Amino acid sequence: MAKLRRTCGTMAAHMLLLERHPAYRGRLAALELATERLRTRRPTPQKLRTVTINCIVHVVWYDAAQNIGKSQIDSQFAVLNRDFRARNTDKSKVPTPWKGLVADSWLRFKCVQITRTKTTQRAFTVDDGVKRGASGGKSPINPRSHLNIWVCPLSGGLLGYAQFPGGPAATDGVVINYQAFGTRGTAQLPFNKGRTTTHEIGHYFNLRHIWADTPDCSGSDLVADAPNCAGPNYGKPRWPAISCRNGPHGDMFMNYMDYVDDDAMFMFTPGQSLRIRAALAGPRAGLTR
């Protein structure tokens, strides 16, 4: 794989859902209201408990090299269980002004099932074809109670995408390029640290890109403790990277919800962790039962 810049198809998938499922917009709006209510009574960490998210991994492969092994899948879950609990050792690289903002999201991920599907499709895209047997993919299993993760070839350099909370169950989950999943096997530099899946699961729990997908500083990721920034950061930026008059510290490009390389992202913030808890209390509540 030629060196790529990170690409995420979540917002493209989001726009398709807004067009095709009118009720989806209302569910997202209701979740934002619930998130704001939770923010006003922010629970203390002592009152939180770790929630185990049962996951089903669907390996959808065109050629044998894409039929990734269990050790590669296990390596991805090891990453998730460090990143979402703020137990990743590279968090030490967070700049001093933000070290106090490295947040535990109190999630544990457990792979409970792996399916394998040989497909006639050379690659998939954000149209959710990988989630339907009729289009060469695999339908989700128990998406209300399990996080479904599809690992497959994706076209156009796409690394992954996710469905925000409130969308249809038939397409719920996250999709990851087999070349950006886990830390071994087919995972390739600079996306071989498992952070693409961390990023996309962030979207699955209602986290937005830190630049709010606007190029002019006018948007918001709806998280007060992540500074507004002008656009995505790529590669391995030097700190501080200042935009949107956010000096002296600049963009929080080491946040998992930016576009930097895997080895340059290390953290979620308390505000992001709270959004995850709100999703778990609302449209993602089935994952906790």
E strand or H helix at 118? strand 107-118
* Secondary structure of residue 252 in the 3-state scheme: coil
Is 62 a member of any domain? yes
Beta bridge partners of 58: 115, 150
Rounded to an integer, what distance in angstroms lies between the CA atom of residue 20 and that of residue 3? 34
In a domain? residue 3: no
- Reported pTM: 0.97
What would you report as the CA-atom Rg of the chain, rounded to the nearest whole angstrom?
18
| Mean pLDDT, 10 residues at a time, the chain of 289 residues | 78 96 96 95 77 98 98 98 98 97 98 98 98 98 98 97 98 98 98 98 98 91 94 96 95 98 98 97 95
pLDDT at 68: 98
Number of domains the chain contains: 1
pLDDT of 48: 83
Q: Tell me, what CATH number does 111's domain have? A: 3.40.390.10
Domain hosting 232: range is: 10-288
CA distance 266 to 281: 26
Look at strands 51-61 and 160-162 and give their pairing: unpaired
Q: Is the peptide bond preceding residue 190 cis, with omega within 30 degrees of 0?
A: yes
Catalytic residues: 200
User: Could you tell me if residue 1 is inside a domain?
Assistant: no
Instruction: Report yes or no on 204 lying in a domain.
Output: yes
Tell me, what's the pLDDT at 216?
87
Distance between CA atoms of residues 180 and 17, nearest Å: 25
pLDDT given for residue 3 in this prediction: 56
- The pLDDT score that the predictor gives to residue 27 is 97
Give the single-character DSSP code of 10: H
In a domain, 48, yes or no: yes
Residue 41 in any domain: the answer is yes
Residue 29 has what pLDDT?
Answer: 97
What per-residue confidence (pLDDT) applies to 41?
A: 86
